[in-house]
Amino acid sequence: MKTTLSLFVLVIICALNSFSQCIVNGLHIYEMGSNKYRLLKQINSDKAMSDIVMGISLWEHRDYLNGDSTFFSFVSCKFDDSNCLNENSNRLYFEFSDDKLYQIILKCYYNPSDLDNCDKDFEKLKQEFSKTYPLVHSYNSINDETNEQEGEGYTFYKRKEDSEFQDNCCVKIESVDIRTEMSYETSYDTGWHQTGKISDYLIVVKFLNLKNTRLDSRGY
């Protein structure tokens, strides 16, 4: 009986460790600061990636860059993380500033009937990221127009200066952010409007590193 129990516990520990590393390891080869040319070659040779799309590119002005603008672009794809999370579908975004990868965003979609899986995955992510990023800031997502709560989240930092970037100038932030959101079905009457019926629950994971860009905490 003791042997069986020990084996069961070992299996659980291994499963949790596998969960904690699968997302990070799956994306680890995509080095922050890489250019789009290199990343596209990597994505197309990665069996976990599919449905690869080149996103819209645009110039954006940043006052702190002495009147200069930054060129933003992105690549998106589907990410096979079947051994990690229990979502219904997902979309992965690689975002570039002046051809330097600075942000990776993973959006995971859950059916309305899968709220329990969404909550469990969110809690696992929170626990696992806190092991690598010891400084944690919790927050509520607030709608700018209605001032109503839209979700909740946590931002994780390794360095104190990153976690206190609002009090300091020009910080090259490195962080991981996770948050939950809800999307709603829409209906058409005299125009399109949002109903109160939930179409999806979402978990959004953001990996941010401004080190290799001209961007900093003043705006990115």
Domain that includes residue 39, residue range: 2-209
Least confident residue range of 176-180, 188-192, 205-209: 188-192
**54 in any annotated domain:** yes
**Partners of 1 in beta bridges:** none
**153 in any annotated domain:** yes
**140 in any annotated domain:** yes
Q: Give DSSP secondary structure letters for 136-172.
A: EEEEEEE-TTT--EEEEEEEEESSHHHHTGGGSSS--
pLDDT for 7:
34
pLDDT tens digit sequence for 29-62:
688 999 999 999 999 999 989 999 999 899 998 8
**170 in any annotated domain:** yes
pLDDT tens digit sequence for 189-200:
877 888 889 999
**114 in any annotated domain:** yes
* 8 A C-beta contact, residue 48 and residue 57: no
Whole-prediction pTM: 0.84
**219 in any annotated domain:** no
pLDDT tens digit sequence for 61-83:
888 988 899 999 999 999 887 67
Q: Give the count of domains, the chain.
A: 1
CA quadruple 183, 55, 76, 71: dihedral sign: negative
**216 in any annotated domain:** no
**184 in any annotated domain:** yes
